[in-house]
């Protein structure tokens, strides 16, 4: 795949048939995927063939191979001009995202209480591949409430406070959710997992603010140097996975009817305004609300344990998704259009002044939460005016090794011991689970953030370091 360096941190894949737009990769040269081992740049070019796509097929600095779309891919299609929606542009873990809570407690004051806190969090947070949840739903009405109301419904039922919703993307719930488009199998998979962490790269971390780059903005977010925080990374669990599976199969069957051809069947899609497109968006919104409620429940469990062990409270900084398709209005080709913006492994980063921001954040921009790989720093960023990719930025470090490769690389090593040698307390993960997620399996998150900032996608506000991690 030939890349043309347009400027520092920006590379172009020239348009060639059947591409409708060019590809654009935001990265430093060292962060570009290895073409021999990672086909994500080919996926960038494939995404550029989608009907109705505008401007470019974008890739963030953490880009790596995914299902259909690369992870770290952003693409917008023009709804009024035959633009499509593709489940592969969202992924299987619909509305997977990050929630950051800040404590009224400094790292120095946590001291010897860390071990007790980690034990309490380890006991309070359901995790792993199977069932287990903070909230044991009593019937279909409650699950319907979750799918329609997300965090709002959870707060109504006593899991959190009203302020939480002001610090959630979409005020805690995506509009136009349609549970009728969620299959019985998806409902079955999700019914027993509301308030559970899952496995893989999902985690709950106790962190400390190690560095602040912009004190006024950090203060507006509720952050200060030395402060203890809790970060939660989880999504829509088995329900979201099944919804993606179901609607990919449906769209595979109907593409020919709409005259759509794609170079990869994993890019199965349908026009946004078709029956199949609307059905997917309704089911996707329901899964997104499930994910918001899931993180709300995990935060509630963490707050309860945190207050019991430390006597301190946890306030929500922000909750943001990085796997979603949203209908948004953006300027393109000189006018404002309604676009279906796919962000897969990419985070929305609204700039200061954006009308969708809560009033107390409107002057400073949206908090953007970038989790590091286990054992490394995480970052809090903010959106900036004039972002070149529909107000989007990276979502994490980005894998450079498959899970199988990571386990092989750690053979004969002691992943838990390596983390504990860095004074990071670990709770609840298997040796294999830790080996899959060790920092060597990922890009350097600091380099990813530097590239995102250098490309004009966002701005650094604070850096956090891990003190303890709960994993499945």
Residue with tokens 């430390």, as numbered in its chain: 310
Which residue in 54, 21, 40 sits closest to 266, CA to CA?
Answer: 40
**Burial class, 266, CB count within 10 angstroms (exposed 0-12 / middle 13-18 / buried 19+):** middle
C-beta separation of 64 from 48 below 8 A: no
Q: CA separation (Å) from 457 to 100, 246, 383, 451? A: 21, 33, 7, 9
Q: Please, how many CA atoms are within 13 Å of residue 77, restricted to the half-sphere of its CB?
A: 25
Q: Is 76 helix (H, G, I), strand (E, B) or coil?
A: strand
In the set 202, 233, 247, 395, the catalytic residue is 395
Residues 6+ apart with CB under 8 A from 446: 376, 377, 379
Residues 6+ apart with CB under 8 A from 344: 66, 69, 70, 71, 72, 73, 74, 88, 89, 90, 91, 323
Omega before residue 210 within 30° of 0, cis? no
| Residue 191 tokens, joined | 């019914």
Tell me, yes or no, if 395 is annotated catalytic. Answer: yes
Residues 6+ apart with CB under 8 A from 206: 114, 117, 118, 121, 228, 229, 230, 425, 466, 467, 468, 469
C-beta separation of 381 from 366 below 8 A: no
Rounded Cα gap, residues 140 and 302, in angstroms = 26
Instruction: Kindly write down the DSSP assignment for every residue of 167-229, as one continuous string.
Output: TBGGGGS-TT--GGGS-HHHHHHHTT-TT---STT-EEEEEEEEEES-HHHHHHHT--TTEEE
C-beta separation of 463 from 211 below 8 A: yes
Active site residues: 395
């Amino acid at each position: 795949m030939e890349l043309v360096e347009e400027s520092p941190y920006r590379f172009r894949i020239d348009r060639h048939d059947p591409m409708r737009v060019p590809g654009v990769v935001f990265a430093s040269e060292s962060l570009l995927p290895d073409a021999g081992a990672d086909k994500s740049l080919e996926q960038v070019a494939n995404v550029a063939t989608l009907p109705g796509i505008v401007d470019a097929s974008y890739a963030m600095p953490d880009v790596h191979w995914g299902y259909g779309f690369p992870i770290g891919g952003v693409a917008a299609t023009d709804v009024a001009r035959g633009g499509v929606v593709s489940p592969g542009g969202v992924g299987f873990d619909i509305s997977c995202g990050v929630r950051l809570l800040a404590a009224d407690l400094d790292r120095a004051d946590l001291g010897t209480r860390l071990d007790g806190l980690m034990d309490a969090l380890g006991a309070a947070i359901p995790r792993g591949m199977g069932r287990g949840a903070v909230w044991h739903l009593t019937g279909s009405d409650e699950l319907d409430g979750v799918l329609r109301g997300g965090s709002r419904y959870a707060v109504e039922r006593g899991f959190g406070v009203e302020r939480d919703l002001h610090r959630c993307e979409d005020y805690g719930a995506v509009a136009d959710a349609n549970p009728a488009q969620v299959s019985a199998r998806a409902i079955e998979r999700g019914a027993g997992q509301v308030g559970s962490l899952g496995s893989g790269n999902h985690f709950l971390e106790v962190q400390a603010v190690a560095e602040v780059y912009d004190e006024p903005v950090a203060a507006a977010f509720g952050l200060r140097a030395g402060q203890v925080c809790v970060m939660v990374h989880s999504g829509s669990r088995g329900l979201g996975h099944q919804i993606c599976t179901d609607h990919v199969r449906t769209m595979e069957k109907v593409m020919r009817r709409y005259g759509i051809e794609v170079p990869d069947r994993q890019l199965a899609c349908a026009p946004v305004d078709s029956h199949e497109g609307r059905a997917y968006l309704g089911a996707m919104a329901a899964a997104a609300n499930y994910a918001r409620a899931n993180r709300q429940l995990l935060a509630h469990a963490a707050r309860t344990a945190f207050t019991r062990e430390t006597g301190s409270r946890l306030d929500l900084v922000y909750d943001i998704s990085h796997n979603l398709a949203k209908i948004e209005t953006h300027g393109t080709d000189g006018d404002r259009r309604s676009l279906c913006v796919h962000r897969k492994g990419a985070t929305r980063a609204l700039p200061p002044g954006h009308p969708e921001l809560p009033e107390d954040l409107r002057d400073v921009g949206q908090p953007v939460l970038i989790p590091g790989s286990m054992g490394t720093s995480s970052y809090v960023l903010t959106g900036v005016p004039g972002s070149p990719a529909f107000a989007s930025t990276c979502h994490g470090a980005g894998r450079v090794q498959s899970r199988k490769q990571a386990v092989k690389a750690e053979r004969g090593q002691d992943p838990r011991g390596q983390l504990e040698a860095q004074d990071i307390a670990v709770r609840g993960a298997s040796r294999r689970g830790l080996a899959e997620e060790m920092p060597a399996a990922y890009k350097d998150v600091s380099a990813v953030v530097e590239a995102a900032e250098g490309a004009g996608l966002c701005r650094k506000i604070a850096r956090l370091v891990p003190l303890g991690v709960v994993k499945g």
